[in-house]
Chain A
Amino acid sequence: MTEGAGYITLGYLDVALAALLLCINAALSFSLNLGLGRKILIAGARMAVQLLIVGLVLKALFVSVSPWLTALATLVMIGFAGYEARARQETRFHGFWSWGLGAGSMAFAALVVTSFALSTAIRPDPWYHPQYAIPLLGMILGNAMTGVALGLERLLSVVYRERRSIEARLLCGAPIQTALQGGVRESVRAGMIPTINAMAAAGLVSLPGMMTGQILAGVEPFEAVKYQLLIMFLITGGTAIGLGAAVLGGAKLLSDDRHRLRLDRIYTRS
């Protein structure tokens, strides 16, 4: 550890010491036959490699301050978020939409909310400065991803489970939008709950990660709180927009112009 400009910098040995906890976890798992040891070690190693690469990429981006490289990083992040959201769904759409619906919704939400924050609250110069744009986008995208994945998973599973009662409503002359309303509402609620819970618990139960990071990096606590509030509002807005787009888009894909329930467009992995 060395004293830096207002914060204590970490050496690789310091990080390695913390990683010992992970090794202890893995050892316990092996001795208790929990079957988690390998997973813990692989996930830990994967995280370390990913974050080190991201650190290098961010360093290069911050030096170049190029709009094209920032845009490229944005695209890559959206692509991975779409892949990750897809992987978390047990029931999926066939073909392109299994990835495209989640990725498209998250891209729309993250770009709208990040642009809003960059052009109003933060106003860096230039406006796309990667030091601000990329972390903001990452946080909004990460949370939108959780909401979108949960919302789509719930929508497809509810619609599959309730298919007979949905068709019963159609047979009574209801439009498909009305027949799907219950599923859409339930899915939006399911997707928003983690974000609402995080807001409700912030400060009381846990200190949010970003705020903790800023305080550790020497930022005055009240400044860190203001940043955290901004981020939480952006995350909630981004999650709601992405989730809304994904669930409404999903409901559209589950129907057609003859108000049919199109379960032939989805499949369950199990």
Chain B
Amino acid sequence: MLSIRQLQRPGLGPIDLEVPSGKCACISGPSGAGKSLLLRAIADLDPNTGTLMLDNIGRSHMPAPVWRSRVGYVPAEPAWWETTPAAHFGDVTAATETAIRLGLSKDNMEQSMDTLSTGERQRLALARALELSPRVLMLDEPTSALDEDSTRLVESEIGRVLGRGVAVLLVTHSDSQTARLADMRYTMQPGGILT
């Protein structure tokens, strides 16, 4: 379970939020309200204050790299540092299986990053986050560049992850996606207040 108390940073909060294991919390709200800031703050990418607990262990008691391995975050525009997707994975075979479930091909794994579409990169970023077997998965508009079929595949993978007891925090602008996946619904108001 991810538990957040009084999370604050400039332009955000204070935020209180709990996402139990195996549940999906969907956050919607206007652009610029602070949804991505919230996910960045939870991932501890920006300086912030508050009490965050993962399965009853405080974030401050965990080295940041360990926290980020357990609380996975896929940004809206994921970035890469190697020339092919395969080079970003430790276990390429397992990653390829995940990629195939997400509607990608084996060849995509060896393709140059520059030649992949935005939608392909989005799905590969999800596979990359899943490789770490996180306890919490935060997704920032993971299907914004996908067609309907690919969206269903991603949602089905999210369902698998939820089935394994992972808590999912999903930022989405799609009401239908929220209806399909959400156990809890929140709206981010301008100024970074969650209701």
Give me the interface of A with B, judged by CB distance under 8 Å.
Answer: 162, 164-175, 182, 256, 258-262, 264
Contacts and interface: CB of A to CB of B under 8 A. Distances in A.
A174 B64 CA distance: 9
Contacts, number: 57
A101 B80 CA distance: 30
Contact of B132 (A164, A166, A173, A264): A173
Contacts of A260: 44-47, 64
A173 B66 contact: yes
Interface stretch (B25-33, B67-75, B91-99, B186-194): B67-75
A173 B68 contact: yes
A171 B65 CA distance: 8
A164 B79 contact: yes
Contacts of A165: 79-81
B102 interface: no
A175 B67 CA distance: 11
Contacts of B129: 171
B79 A175 contact: no
B46 A168 contact: no
Contacts of A172: 68-69, 88, 128, 132
A168 B69 contact: no
Contact of A173 (B65, B77, B79): B65
3 closest residue pairs by CB, A with B: A164-B79, A173-B69, A259-B64
A259 B64 CA distance: 6
B38 interface: no
B114 to A, nearest CB: 13
B64 A168 contact: no
Contacts of B79: 164-165, 167-168
A259 B65 contact: yes
A172 B125 CA distance: 10
A173 B89 CA distance: 12
Contacts of B64: 170, 258-260
B147 to A, nearest CB: 25
27 contacts: A164-B77, A164-B79, A166-B81, A167-B45, A168-B78, A168-B79, A168-B80, A168-B81, A169-B81, A171-B45, A171-B72, A171-B73, A171-B129, A172-B69, A172-B88, A172-B132, A174-B65, A258-B64, A259-B63, A259-B64, A259-B65, A259-B68, A260-B47, A260-B64, A261-B45, A262-B47, A264-B47
Interface of B: 43-47, 63-66, 68-69, 72-73, 75, 77-81, 88, 128-129, 132
Q: Which of A165, A171, A174, A258 is most buried by chain B, counting CB atoms within 10 A of its CB? A: A171
Contacts of A256: 47
A205 B68 CA distance: 53
B194 to A, nearest CB: 22
Given A164-B77, A165-B79, A171 B44 contact: no
A173 B134 CA distance: 11
Given A260-B44, A260-B45, A260-B46, A171 B80 contact: no
Nearest to B44: A258
Nearest to B40: A167
Given A168-B78, A173-B65, 8 more contacts: A165-B80, A167-B79, A168-B79, A171-B73, A172-B132, A173-B68, A256-B47, A260-B64
Nearest to B47: A260
Contacts of A182: 81
A139 to B, nearest CB: 39
B10 to A, nearest CB: 10
Contacts of B46: 260
A169 B132 CA distance: 12
A111 to B, nearest CB: 35
Contacts of A164: 75, 77, 79
Nearest to A178: B65
Contacts of B47: 256, 258, 260, 262, 264
A162 B88 CA distance: 16
